[in-house]
Amino acid sequence: MRYRISIVVAMASAWVVASAAQQQAPRDNQPGRKWSEEQLRQASSAVRAGRKLTPKSWPNGARVAVALTFTLNNTANNFAVGDSAVVQLTGGEFGAITGLPRVLDVLDQHGVPATFFIPATAAIVDPQMIPEIVKRRRHEIGTLGWSDENPVAINNATEEEQLLTKATEYLTKAAGKKPVGARGPSDLLSLYTMGLLKKAGFLYDSTLMGMDEPYEVLLNGQPSGIVELPVSRMLDDRPTLSAPRFGPSALPSPELIFETFRDDFDAAYGEGTLFLVTLHPHLIGMRSRITYLDDLIRYMQSKPNVWFATTEEIARYVRQQAGITN
């Protein structure tokens, strides 16, 4: 009898606690509607787009600068979130041992350079990647953090700086050259990231989306000297050609995606500015998709006066043209 009474009391207590929790005011996750004008300005002023850096002309009279960039994260983000499931890790392995060789073969066939942003953990797991890239002598290695971690979630300047330093040192040793460009791990930047990149002497970043041409980054309203070579989700194969780990997905035709890429290139060509695509070897390196990269490069090469360059080459050129020395 006492046992039954105890159960009833426990259930009643749980119901009271649950009811009280339900009656509590929900957390306000839309504070923007209550912020003052000053709060709105402060929230958006830490990192902003500064002056445009598209030069009056590109090298050798080129009409457009083309940057083929590859985010070679493979399994790094899995390690960042503690996902060591065997099957999931083989998806990253595909990017290293199958996707990357196919990408490099296409780039070799056309003789064009590219930039590969790599987290250190991906290079540790598959150490053959960086030697295969750098032996071509025309590609660039940029950093993607230590393990493609989420810098916003870390929210700690000291820890983020330590990871950046460690990643930079590892890539420098592996590639034989210190990286001068960065892409935000997990495609994210914290409030500290850009200042840390400047402190570490990086020339450029390729994470932000404030414009669709090169620009100088403003830090708290002041010119930073850092060149931004902006990305676009529309020119990224991950949002369009990847599938979630669980559940259904609607994958559009790769042909339609690359038609969009060609249209954007045509517009950049007409404007005389930058065309930058973001690709992932574990996605574009699939046998049903690699031909579209080949077709895209062929199309761009069919136009006169197209400058294919690494993002380092583009960043140095626009800095020089704009007279940036800091």
The full set of domains in the chain, from first to last, is: 44-243+251-322 (3.20.20.370)
pLDDT digits (tens, 9 = 90+) for 224-267: 999 999 999 999 988 877 766 544 455 667 888 899 999 999 99
What mean pLDDT comes out for the span 33-42?
A: 82
Helix (H) or strand (E) holding 15: helix 2-23
With contact defined as beta carbons under 8 Å apart, do 215 and 241 qualify? Answer: no
Cβ within 8 Å of residue 233, ≥6 positions away: 209, 239
Q: What is the pLDDT averaged over residues 313-319?
A: 98
Alpha-carbon gap, residue 89 to 78, rounded angstroms: 7
pLDDT at 35: 82
Q: What is the pLDDT of residue 4?
A: 44
Burial class of residue 172 in the structure, from the number of CB atoms within 10 Å of its CB (0-12 exposed, 13-18 middle, 19+ buried): middle
Residues 6+ apart with CB under 8 A from 101: 132, 285
Beta strand 47-52 with 215-219 is: antiparallel
The answer to whether the predicted template modeling score (pTM) of the entire model surpasses 0.95 is no
Residue 307's contacts (CB-CB under 8 Å, 6 or more residues apart) are 58, 59, 60, 62, 64, 65, 66
- Separation CA 325–CA 3 (nearest Å): 79
- Per-residue pLDDT at 222 exceeds 90: yes
Q: Is the pLDDT of residue 49 over 90?
A: no
Quick: pLDDT tens for 95-136: 899 999 999 999 999 999 999 999 999 899 899 999 999 999
CA 183/CA 161 separation, integer angstroms: 15
